[in-house]
Amino acid sequence: MVKLAFVFPGQGSQFVGMGKDLYDNYEEAKKVFDDVDKILGKSISKICFEGSEEDLKQTINTQLAILTTSLAALAALKSRLNVEPAFVAGHSLGEYGALCEAGVLSFEDTIKLIAKRAVLMSQLKNGAMSAILGLDDVTVEECIKEAQEVGYVAVANYNCPGQVVITGEERALRDAEELLMASGARRIIPLAVSGAFHSELMKNAGEEFGKYLQGFELHDAKVPVITNVDAQITTNAQDFREKIPRQIYSSVYWTQSVQKMVNEGVDTFVEIGPGKVLVGLIKKIAPEMKVYNVYDKTSLNACVEAIKII
């Protein structure tokens, strides 16, 4: 019997035109886009389908656009395939797709919370982030520890073996990069972001988001969620209330989250949302896993046919 996990992508997976094919071919997906536009009072669908790359990469738009496309893809998939995942998870922003699918948040509240999260995160204008390729986690952590003598720097994302994202104050980050190159990093890629996401520099934003979250009802998860901040199974509403704000300024333990699901018996992952970023990461974390993605009609049909056969 197949044991499925649904996973949802984060920032960086966006592309112009995402979701249009789903909108045109599935009434359930069209309803998601139309409902989000109504909730927000602005056309996220237009930004997804027609927006410039510049518009789409603005955090205030990106987060809503990716999440809306993911939820539309989820609705289309569920209209074709009657299966329940054993676990759900998402990478950073993607965790909100997981929270919605698990019933922790209502659809409308998920959209409202991401709108607020995007505003708070886009307001941070200091700090930087870089992806480090070709080093193990321990070496990265040792270099970061040494660089902290000149300022704040930390791990933002443990993406997969050999790929870690670091975050922090510009000077400390550049010092860390020099140490990492000297330690054998294959490549360092500065990321085009407005600030140091998933770092202590975002703690005020996280705390403000926590206050905003108090006005929303959270429910126990009907499907276990593997949470970013600790890569642990979470189902209790009160635990989510504590972890959701903390996620903004904590490391994303994605490698560990995938490993946790594999250890719990998951054998098939379905990435639901634009692109194939998580499929690529999962293949590096657990090469033996079956992986599929759903972001348009072709990929959805392929996923449905493959899972029906399993």
Residue 276: CATH number of its domain: 3.40.366.10
CATH number, domain containing residue 173? 3.30.70.250
| Residue 275 per-residue DSSP state | S
- Chain segment 133-191, per-residue pLDDT in tens: 999 999 999 999 999 999 999 999 999 999 999 999 999 999 999 999 999 999 999 99
Question: Domain boundary at 190, 208, 241, which?
Answer: 190
Which residues belong to the active site? 92, 198
- My answer on whether 117 and 10 are in the same domain is yes
| Cα Rg of the chain, angstroms | 19
Asked if the structure places residue 140 within a domain, the reply is yes
Q: Are 270 and 295 contained in the same domain?
A: yes
| 126, pLDDT greater than 90 | no
Does residue 29 belong to any structural domain of this protein?
A: yes
Number of domains in the chain: 2
Contact (Cβ atoms closer than 8 angstroms) between residue 156 and residue 197: yes
Report the DSSP pairing between strands 87-90 and 4-8. parallel
| 195 in any annotated domain | no
Pairwise CA distance, residues 196 & 58, whole Å: 15
Looking at the DSSP assignment, which residues form a beta bridge with residue 153? 168
pLDDT, one tens digit per residue, over 252-281 is 999 999 999 999 999 999 999 999 999 999
CB contact at 8 A, 257 and 248: no
Query: 230 lies in a domain?
Result: yes
Do 116 and 40 lie in one domain? The reply is yes
**Do 140 and 82 have their domain in common?**
no
Q: Which of 136, 168, 190 is the last residue of a domain?
A: 190
For residues 116 and 125, give the distance between their C-alpha atoms in angstroms, rounded to a whole number. Answer: 17
Name, in order, each residue with C-beta under 8 angstroms of 208's C-beta and a sequence gap of 6 or more: 120
Residues 103 and 141 in one domain: no
Is 215 part of a structural domain of the chain? Answer: yes
In this structure, the answer to whether residues 175 and 95 fall within a common structural domain is no
Grouping H, G, I as helix, E, B as strand and the rest as coil, residue 166 is strand
What is the per-residue pLDDT across 184-210, written as a single tens digit (0 to 9) for each? Answer: 999 999 998 878 999 999 999 999 999
Q: How many CA atoms lie within 13 A of 155 on its CB side?
A: 25
Bridge partners (DSSP) of residue 252 are: 157
What mean pLDDT is predicted for residues 241-245?
A: 98
When pLDDT is cut at 50, 70 and 90, the band that residue 32 belongs to is: very high
Shared-domain flag, residues 178 and 292: no
pTM of the predicted model as reported, rounded to 2 decimal places = 0.96
Dist CA 275 CA 257 (whole Å):
20
Pair 102, 222 in one domain = yes
So what's the pLDDT on residue 56? 87
Do 216 and 115 lie in a common domain? yes
Are residue 49 and residue 64 in the same domain, yes or no? yes
Structural contact between residues 62 and 117, judged by C-beta atoms closer than 8 angstroms? no
CA 100-273-42 angle, to 5 degrees, is 70
Residue 234 — φ and ψ, nearest 5°? -130, 130
- The pLDDT of residue 161: 97
What is the average pLDDT value for the chain, to the nearest integer? Answer: 95
Q: What pLDDT, on a 0 to 100 scale, did the predictor assign at position 1? A: 80
Q: Residue 284's domain spans which residues? A: 4-123+200-309
User: Are 137 and 173 part of one and the same domain?
Assistant: yes
The answer to whether residue 290 is domain-embedded is yes
Q: What is the pLDDT of residues 208-221, one digit of tens each?
A: 999 999 999 999 99
Domain assignment present for residue 119? The answer is yes
Question: 210 and 76 in one domain?
Answer: yes
pLDDT at residue number 57: 85
Does a structural domain hold residue 302? yes
Q: In which element (H, E) is residue 212 found?
A: helix 203-213
Among 140, 171, 190, identify where a domain stops. 190
Q: What is the Cα–Cα distance from 77 to 158, expressed in whole angstroms?
A: 28
For residue 193, the model assigns a pLDDT of 82
Alpha-carbon distance of 152 to 201, in angstroms, equals: 9
